[in-house]
């Protein structure tokens, strides 16, 4: 997929990947490729892949690398991905990173940004997060939509996700350390890794990412 701008955002759950991906996708006219959004959309649409995903999720299983990779490949066929994409939540494993490289080509990923945020802060962020079950919009527990339980964007039901509770957060962070942190070495070895302090305002984080892109001639 020559000529595309593809950026990978890594970071612990709650580091701000979704916020930054949305901002950067809009700024550079790229697709925001979020595996969470893709999975929800596929299930909702009832596509053949979506039905496979639903069967796995209904059985309480984990969606396999193979299924996620097929969904990402399908997502890249959408018109808004013609210029490239902001990859949020993918890859999560070395196998997924290698599959992404095979899909996009060796020079397909132009930059990998690691958002560095202390564990106590991401735990606090996740614990206070509330999410619309319909459109996926995030709120803080102090926001009016979180208090009322009604999404200001679409009118959907705003809830605390089960995996945003303390025990689940600890487990998710353990999975991240085991499965995803090795990707830092994967992208560092390719000269693509840049670390950004995620413990700043969203505007400051965006500014630092764009500065890193400028340094590499990507913005």
Look at the block and give the residue holding tokens 């596509």: 47
Residue 110 appears among annotated catalytic residues: no
Name the catalytic one among 40, 70, 110, 129: 129
Q: Is 216 noted as a catalytic residue in this protein?
A: no
From the candidates 140, 153, 161, 216, give the one annotated as an active-site residue. Answer: 161
From the candidates 17, 23, 125, 130, give the one annotated as an active-site residue: 17
For residue 133, how many other CB atoms are within 10 A of its CB?
Answer: 13
Is there a catalytic annotation at residue 17? yes
Catalytic option among 27, 70, 110, 172? 172
- Tell me if residue 172 is catalytic: yes
Helix 65-75 × helix 48-58 angle, to 10°: 150
**Residue 55: CB partners within 8 Å, gap ≥ 6?**
none
Neighbour-count burial for 69-104, b at 16+ CB within 10 Å, e otherwise: bbbbeebbeeeebeebbbbbbbbbbeebbebbbeeb
Question: For residue 32, which of 67, 4, 6 has the smallest C-alpha distance?
Answer: 6
- Residues with catalytic function: 17, 92, 129, 161, 172
């Amino acid at each position: 997929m020559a000529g595309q701008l593809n950026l990978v955002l890594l970071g612990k759950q709650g580091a701000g990947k979704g916020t930054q991906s949305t901002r950067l996708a809009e700024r550079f006219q790229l697709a925001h490729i979020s595996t969470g959004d893709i999975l929800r959309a596929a299930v909702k649409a009832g596509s053949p892949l979506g039905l496979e995903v639903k069967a796995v999720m209904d059985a309480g299983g984990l969606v396999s690398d193979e299924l996620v990779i097929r969904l990402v490949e399908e997502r890249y066929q959408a018109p808004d991905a013609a210029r490239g994409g902001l990859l949020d939540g993918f890859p999560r494993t070395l196998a997924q990173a290698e599959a992404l490289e095979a899909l996009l080509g060796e020079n397909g990923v132009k930059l990998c940004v690691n958002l560095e945020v202390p564990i106590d802060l991401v735990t606090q962020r996740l614990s206070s997060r509330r999410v619309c079950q319909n459109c996926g919009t995030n709120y803080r527990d102090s926001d009016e939509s979180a208090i009322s339980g009604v999404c200001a964007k679409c009118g959907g039901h705003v809830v605390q996700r089960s995996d945003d509770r303390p025990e689940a957060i600890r487990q998710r962070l353990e999975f991240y350390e085991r499965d995803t942190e090795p990707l830092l070495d994967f992208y560092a070895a390719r000269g693509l890794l840049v670390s950004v302090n995620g413990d700043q305002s969203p505007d400051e984080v965006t500014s630092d990412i764009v500065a890193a892109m400028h340094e590499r001639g990507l913005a």
